[in-house]
Structure 1
């Protein structure tokens, strides 16, 4: 295999990864990302289709992968694995238990596909890496995982919330964004009872339920929200 073949194989694999992680991608986007011509991307897409990869098009807007299709896990380089292990130590400082649990489960799955030599090094790095903050690993919330699900699926949530004056209220809100601060996590959401966007500290949510009812997605980015309200 010559250098051009190696580069193309790497690009084809990267295109599949891009299609698996992005809902819709255009040939122009892919060409810019991989510094090749659009014509080359067309050839790459045809090659993947001929190899049995189920790539579909959406009205001339771009390409997407058939729902449910996944490649077997790809191998990580040692440096990539080390970066993930380091991130794990940062996550362990987080005060939301659901987030910590889900990330650690994901790391365990990643370690399972590493070669034995890389796995040993990853475990060693995990044992030898520590951060000073949140040494006791105290948790003050357990809602991030459910909130992420509600946010990406546009599902209403019901919360029991205790404000700074220790007054409790029940709210139905439309989750818009999650923001990490040095102390805890904040949920930005449209409060249906107050009819405005509000901040909710996760450590002040005593109870939460993801409802079956969907809401209309808010037509703005997080930056547009900040520009509008701050």
Structure 2
């Protein structure tokens, strides 16, 4: 399969996703989204129809899937599922209760199509994440995705950490929870160097490596941690 074939297959899959998530979509919408010509979209729709996907054309309006037709659930990668769980924590800070209700119900439906292993990990991450609004919107870390992975799969993680005195130390940690209560994300982890739970600011982690060795899952919940230590 050459590069053009790969791109087209990716686009066809993405068009299927759009058809599942929107009531009606036009060829021009799709052309704009995928940066191709409308003629290319016409060919893509025809290819999907020939593959057995019942796409209906509403004259002058756009395309819609036949009512009642169900495409097999789209499988999320673990990192995509984790990103959705993190987004849920952001939504929970919204002031509108109806918006929260709708979003959490949508997340439940998304979790329903995950494989059981990913579902368990998504639920664990949801239980181990706390968020408060970051008012200045500054992006000051790029380790959250890797830490989510280490946390839910119980992998030891090696970090080079810079403390308040600007001293760098190398630590082996057991990620426990992610919290955002200030302008910076904080990682709660068992530090093997200090033999105790410690907070680590993500913006002070200079280098990070998720190791292949696993640690034993921490038995307590995040709330039990707060009750015990604060």
TM-score by length of 1: 0.48
TM-score by length of 2: 0.48
